[in-house]
Amino acid sequence: MSDNFAAVGLLLAFAVVLPIVVMAIVHLLAPHKPHKEKLIDLCGMDLEDHLEVVYQLSSLRGPQRLRIVARVERENPVINSVTQLWKGSDFLEREAFDMFGLQFRGHPNLKRIYMWDDFEGYPMRKDYVIESHEQRAVMRVRKEGE
């Protein structure tokens, strides 16, 4: 098998370099009914030189599973949102944004979900600098309206 494609049992995996290819693969597999493919999970990954978005899909027509790994530039981590196709991806995309800084173009409400709004950085990135114990020990004062 090539580096961009693998089949293990009932799992089919694609690695794509162009993020636009993700939706194309889904529509090729189910051209008239892409909603028959259920999004099980969506997560971000930091591989130091680039970021990845991993989509785990399962078919409602059988036991087949599909994994799509989309490579995203570290300096410009933008990929199209899949919320139009799967409403359940809303919080998954927000989590990937909050932890890795992945920007999902077309997302209806892309904002932090775990960290506070003025939090600086993305804690799951490998280049994230952890605060010293003295900095963490300082009590954060809650701002009005939070």
Q: What is the pLDDT of residue 145?
A: 73
Average pLDDT per block of 10 residues along the chain, 146 residues long: 54 72 70 68 94 88 81 93 90 97 96 91 89 68 70
Query: Residue 114 domain-assigned?
Result: yes
- Biggest distance spanned by C-alpha atoms of the chain: 57
Number of domains in the chain: 1
Of 113, 73, 65, 71, nearest to 89 (Cα)? 113
Within-domain flag for 106: yes
In a domain, 142, yes or no: no
In a domain, 144, yes or no: no
136 sits in which H/E element: helix 133-137
pLDDT on residue 58: 85
Residue 146 in domain: no
Residue 119 resides in a domain: yes
**CATH code (residue 103):** 3.30.460.80
- Residue 68 in contact with residue 57, Cβ under 8 Å? yes
For residue 92, the tally of other CB atoms under 10 A from its CB is 22
pLDDT of residue 139: 64
Q: Is residue 59 part of a domain?
A: yes
- 110 lies in some domain: yes
Domain that holds residue 43: 5-137
